Chain A
Amino acid sequence: MADTEKIIEIQVLRYRPEQDKEPVLQSFKVPFTDDMSVLQGLQYIKDFLDGTLSFRWSCRMAICGSCGMMVDGKPKLSCKTFLREYYPQGLRVDALAHLPIERDLMVSVEDFVTKLESIKPYIIPKEPRTLEQGEYLQTPQQRDMYEQFSSCINCMLCYAACPQYGLNPSFTGPGILALMHRYNADSRDGGQAERNELGYADEGYWGCTAVGYCSEVCPKGVDPANAINQNKMASAINYFTRFITPGGAEK
C-alpha cells in the first residue's frame, strides 16, 4: 500500500538568545510517513523549513542519550518517539524541563556533568592489584546486583521528570544516584565510603520523596527510584548504627 502523504503540525519552543527575550512557540507543517520519528520530523524542519532550528542528536537509535526533549509535556527520546502517535492532533516539543535552555531544544548539561564527575563513576579497587593477579571474577548473581543500573545513557529524561530536581537543583537527582548505586553495588568496587558522604546528605538519597516518575520515563529500563530507595534503607541503618559499629561514627 502506497503511503499517502500525511501532514502533521509540530509546534516547537524556540529560544534564540540573540533575538528572543523569552522562549516562543513556532509552528511547522511537516509531511511524514508512519516510520518517522519526532527527531526525523525536526530534521525535516531543519533541512526544508527553517535551517536555524537547533537540537542535539547523534545515534538516532536510543543509545547516545543526546536527543531528549519534552514531547507533549513528557520527557522522551525524540529518536524513539514516533510522529504517528500524535496524528492527527499534532504535537508540541519543548526543551527538557528543569534544565536551562541554551538554544531552542538544547539544554545546558553542565550541572549534570559536574555532578556525574563528583560521584566518581568508575570502579575504585578495594586494594591495589597487580597484573599477575589476573582479572576480577564476578558471579552472575554479583553482576545482577548492578547490571540494570549500568544501562544509563545519561539522557537526563529523569531529571526533566523529577519534581525535586525541578524545585531544588542542588539535589543530585535520579540518574546520577542510580549510577552511584551501580558502582557501590559492584562487588569489585571499594569506593562506597567515599561516595556515601554525598549519598547520605540531603543532596543525596534524602532529597528524593519517592515520586517514581523517573523510573517511568527512563528509556533504558533503569529504575532510579528503586536504587534510591534501597540506599535510603542502608543510609538509615547506618545513621542509627554508626555509633555502635567500629569506625562508623567518623563516616
Chain B
Amino acid sequence: MKRSNEPIFWSLFGAGGMLAALIGPALVFITGIAVPFGLIFKPDTMSYAHMLAFSQNWLGKIFVLAVIALFLWHAAHRIHIVLHDFGVHAVTLVRVLCYGGAFVGTVIAAYTLLKL
C-alpha cells in the first residue's frame, strides 16, 4: 500500500487552523473593527507608513507571511475536502485550483514581502 502524501497538506491545514483559531478573531477585531472605529488603538495605527515599517521588520515579515500563507492553505484544504464530501468528482481540477491557488498566493506574498 502506498504511503499517502496527505500529511504535507494536512500539516499546513492544521497549522493554518491552529493559527486562525488563535489569532483570527483578534485580527478581525483589530483590523476590521477597533482601528477603523478608532477604539483602543491610535487612529494612525494602520497607516501606510506603520504597516510598511511592520512588514520591513523580519519578524513582521514572518508574521504576515505565516498569516497569509497558512490561512490560504487551510482554506484550500477545507474547500477541497468539502467539495469532495459533496461528491464533486473533478478531483484533479479541484486540487489544482485549491492548492494551486494557495501556492500562488504564498509565492506572491513571499515575493512581495522580500521586496519591501
Q: A192 near B: Cβ within 8 Å? A: no
Q: B81 near A: Cβ within 8 Å? A: yes
Cβ–Cβ < 8 Å partners of B14 in chain A? 236
Q: A202 near B: Cβ within 8 Å? A: yes
Which chain A residues numbered 163 to 200 have a C-beta less than 8 Å away from chain B?
Answer: 163-164, 167, 197-198, 200
Do A235 and B7 contact each other (CB < 8 Å), given the known contacts A167-B87, A209-B85, A211-B85? yes
B59-88 contact mask (Cβ, 8 Å, vs A): 1 or 0: 000000000000000000000010011010
Cβ–Cβ < 8 Å partners of B7 in chain A? 206, 232, 235-236, 239-240
Instruction: Check A206–B4 contact: CB distance below 8 A.
Output: yes
Interface size on A, residues (CB 8 A): 19
The prevalent SS among residues of A at the interface is: helix
Cβ–Cβ < 8 Å partners of A147 in chain B? none
How far, in whole Å, are A46 and B8 apart by their CA atoms in the complex? 54
Q: A216 near B: Cβ within 8 Å? A: no
Instruction: Check B84–A167 contact: CB distance below 8 A.
Output: yes
How far, in whole Å, are A164 and B85 apart by their CA atoms in the complex? 7
Cβ–Cβ < 8 Å partners of A201 in chain B? 1-4
How far, in whole Å, are A161 and B8 apart by their CA atoms in the complex? 27
Instruction: Check B11–A236 contact: CB distance below 8 A.
Output: yes
Min Cβ gap A47→B in Å is 40
Q: A9 near B: Cβ within 8 Å? A: no
Min Cβ gap A119→B in Å is 12
Give the residue of A198, A209, A232, A240 whose beta carbon is less than 8 angstroms from that of B81. A209
Q: B41 near A: Cβ within 8 Å? A: no
Cβ–Cβ < 8 Å partners of A198 in chain B? 1
> Chain B residue with minimal CB distance to A238?
B7
Q: A219 near B: Cβ within 8 Å? A: no
Cβ–Cβ < 8 Å partners of B84 in chain A? 167, 209
Cβ–Cβ < 8 Å partners of B2 in chain A? 201-202
Q: A204 near B: Cβ within 8 Å? A: yes
How far, in whole Å, are A141 and B7 apart by their CA atoms in the complex? 29
Which chain A residues numbered 106 to 161 have a C-beta less than 8 Å away from chain B?
Answer: none
Do A236 and B10 contact each other (CB < 8 Å), given the known contacts A163-B85, A167-B84, A209-B84? yes
Give the residue of A167, A203, A204, A232 whose beta carbon is less than 8 angstroms from that of B10. A232
Instruction: Check A202–B6 contact: CB distance below 8 A.
Output: yes
11 contacts between A and B (CB under 8 A): A201-B2, A201-B4, A202-B2, A204-B1, A204-B4, A206-B6, A206-B7, A209-B84, A232-B7, A232-B10, A236-B10
A: which residues have CB within 8 A of B? 163-164, 167, 197-198, 200-204, 206, 209-211, 232, 235-236, 239-240
Q: Which 6 residue pairs of A and B lie closest in terms of their CB atoms, listed nearest first?
A: A239-B7, A236-B7, A206-B4, A206-B6, A209-B81, A201-B1
